[in-house]
Structure 1
Amino acid sequence: MEAETLALAQEMDFSLWALFARATIVVKLVMIFLIVASFWAWSIIIQKLITYRRARAEAARFDDRFWSGDPLDELFDEIGPDPNGQSERVFAAGMMEWRRSHRNDGGLIAGATARIDRNMDVAIAKEADSLQSGLSVLATVGSTAPFIGLFGTVWGIMHAFIGIAEQQNTNIAVVAPGIAEALLATGLGLLAAIPAVIFYNKLSGDSDRIVAGYEAFADEFSTILSRQLDS
């Protein structure tokens, strides 16, 4: 009997595709959902890594131009009121309000500094929303994928025990396939969750540092404009 059981177990296909094909419809749906969630998470991760790299490079280039000593009006005329770069958009928001705050006689409307600060704060908030879009998906995948995989495992094990009861056979050849199929769901859940959690933490930190750079630039720019107002 043991030799027959061993031979039967050796003949069974335990490849990932075979485990998926033998799983129940509920476990299959769980596995498909986890695979889709994993691909979705990785697409966001790759997109954000590229976006943040470009944002840092753009901020570095703009800082060099901003501190080059050229007149700010010339820099604004060069980049225009609707530039492509994130740092440039923060700068443009401040400069547009600066120009709108001038009266026809050349004087400044009262409260110009506060309005310039608010304009740049709004621009920074928009850039922060753009940078952080999609991170909530990583957080959701990272927190829910293990439990979804666990649900598939529990369902698969329950189905395996039902099969054992119906066949009244506890041979390893009967038990192993059902347990292996069930555990595959947990494995896929962890495969989706672990990268999502790791890169969510990394990308959140990167986003915060980039936004902090915009805020520091806005403070420096506001200080420059304040000096011109005082003079």
Structure 2
Amino acid sequence: MNDYYLNLIVQASLYALLVFSVVTWILIFAKAVQHWRLSKQDKLFAKKFWSATSLDAATAIASDASPKSRLAKVGFGALYVNEKNGEGHDLEHSWDRQELLERHLRQQIQKEYQSLESGLAVLASIGSTAPFVGLFGTVFGIIHALSAIGKNASASIDVVAGPIGEALVATGVGIAVAVPAVLAYNFYIRRLKVTAAELDNYATDFVNLAQKNAFRVSKPVTKTAEASKAAPGHDIPVTGVLA
């Protein structure tokens, strides 16, 4: 194979690894901001929620600003019954009210989980493929070195230093790209599980509170000022299945 094409393949491998590295660090910082904002807003909502005087009063603070708030909003929507307008007699509300609530909470938890999980598959893919991309460049770098030895009929350092150096750089870069991706993936998977457990515990507490309230609230969920200011899709979490 022509030396030009051999060198081009090695360079292409290095550029591919550069792209992988940029994507990895963008995802790392994006997920860090996401988790920080998620934690902050969930703590703020939880403080307001548990300070409410009743479950009906808590409907005023449910919004789309945080995962727990969205979960509460869905729960209140499942519990709200306006007998005066005939609500509560359609097919959706013909379910046992506890089953209806748990179904809505479970579905919302899965939505939060899927949202928070976004981007992790990319980190996993980069972490598993980057070393092989680097190895691919290494193989062609060695082929380039052997080709140079054959053409020059010499294995002197001047002949092989360049191609061998490129080959080793490709291997090193591949490993350097893979390590942060793998570490970040493992870290955010752990954070995902922790957040999932927190949402699951909150959902269980919500069901217990609803049980004390006969699985009904008399007030519809209202849109708060905080919710109107929050940009849609800011935070994302979570996982879990109600026991």
Q: Please tell me the TM-score bracket, short chain as reference.
A: 0.7 to 0.9
Q: How many residues in Structure 1 have an aligned counterpart in Structure 2?
A: 208
5 Å-filtered alignment, 1:19-168, equals 24-80=7-63, 83-100=64-81, 103-104=83-84, 109-168=94-153
Shift of residue 56 of structure 1? Answer: 1.1
Specify the alignment match of 1:9 in structure 2.
Answer: none
Q: Which residues of structure 2 form unaligned runs of 5+?
A: 1-5, 217-243
Q: Which has the higher contact order (CA 8 A, sep 6+)?
A: 2
For residue 211 of structure 1, report the CA deviation from its aligned partner. Answer: 1.5
CA offset digits 1:130-167 (Å, max 9, x no partner): 11100001100000100110011011101110111111
Retained in 2: the 8 A contact 1:52–1:207? no
CA contact (8 A) 2:124 2:182 kept: yes
Deviation at 1:230, TM superposition (A): 8.0
Q: Any conservation in 1 of the 2:55–2:213 contact (CA below 8 Å)?
A: no
1:66: how far off? 1.4
Matched residue of 2:128: which SS? helix
Partner in structure 2 of residue 208 of structure 1: 193
Deviation at 1:121, TM superposition (A): 1.1
CA distance in 1, matches of 2:29, 2:211: 41
8 Å contact from structure 1 (residues 87, 214) kept in 2: yes
Q: Against the structure 1 CA distance between its residues 230 and 85, is the aligned structure 2 distance closer, same or farther, given a 3 Å change threshold?
A: closer
Structure 1 residues without counterparts, runs of 5 or longer: 1-22
Percentage of matched positions with identical amino acids:
33
Any runs of at least 4 consecutive aligned residues in structure 1 with deviations exceeding 3 A, and if so which? 102-110
TM-score normalized with structure 2 length: 0.80
Q: Deviations over 1:32-64 (max 9, x none)?
A: 000000110110010001101111111111111
Structure (1 or 2) with the larger CA radius of gyration: 1
